[in-house]
Structure 1
Amino acid sequence: MSRTTGKWNVWSITFLALLVIGLVYSVISSPLTFLIPIVVLGGIFLLYKYPPAFLRGYHSQQGRTQVKQSRAAAPKSKVNKPRSKTVPFRVIEGGKEDDDLPKYH
């Protein structure tokens, strides 16, 4: 008995076929059950993609003034800033030596 490692085997094709048949039958028998969730999800998507002005957050930044640095002043601030000193790592010796525990876990 060999199992195929491919993505599509007999069971997945059967499952998908029954799923499609069930969905088509549901849409034909009662289309309103699929229309309501589609409208709700579509409305949520539209609100997410194109939010109204009161949800965008423009009112929170009206009182703040934004100051942009000129391009000539920006490199000078980086040049004047001293670089931090690189310190090599140190090994701190531990004081506990236990012979009961193995050295490598």
Structure 2
Amino acid sequence: MPSRWNAWTIGLLALLAIGLVYSVILSPSSFIIPIVVLGGIYLLYKYPPSFLRGYGGSRQGRPQVKPGRAAAAAKSKSAKPRSKTVPFRVIEGGKDDDDDLPKYH
């Protein structure tokens, strides 16, 4: 048990469990309907029908690329760098130092 569980937490959880059991005994249909609905949503999420998949048919994952073109494209991209790396430059600002000591004493 976690160290944060004290007598109040255990008492509250016990009352919650008793209330749930009592509610299920009193009217089981109030728990069967949400369980069926949530189960249906889970099944549709886990195994969606073909019209809900979005990318059509049995094709899954990324589309296949021919090896000849992919290798040539990879070589041409790796030979040319995207941009030249330039070190950072400091641009001198024009702000006066009014926050420091005044110019006259």
Match of residue 41 from structure 2: 44
Match of residue 35 from structure 1: 32
Aligned pairs for 1:5-84 within 5 A: 6-59=3-56, 68-70=65-67, 72-82=71-81, 84=83
**Pairing 1:97–2:58 present:** no
2: CA distance between counterparts of 1:28 and 1:19? 14
Identity across matched positions, percent: 71
Cα distance change, pair 67–26 in 1 and its aligned pair in 2 (3 A) = closer
Count residues in correspondence. Answer: 93
1: CA distance between counterparts of 2:22 and 2:12? 15
TM-score by length of 1: 0.73
Q: What amino acid is the match of 2:14?
A: A
Q: Residue 8 of structure 2: SS of its match in structure 1? A: helix
Shift of 1:81: 1.9
Q: Residue 51 of structure 1: SS of its match in structure 2? A: coil
TM-score by length of 2: 0.73
CA root-mean-square deviation: 2.7
**Bigger CA drift: 69-78 or 85-94?**
69-78
Q: What amino acid is the match of 2:50?
A: A
**Bigger CA drift: 47-56 or 69-78?**
69-78
Unaligned runs of 5+ in 2: 57-62, 101-105
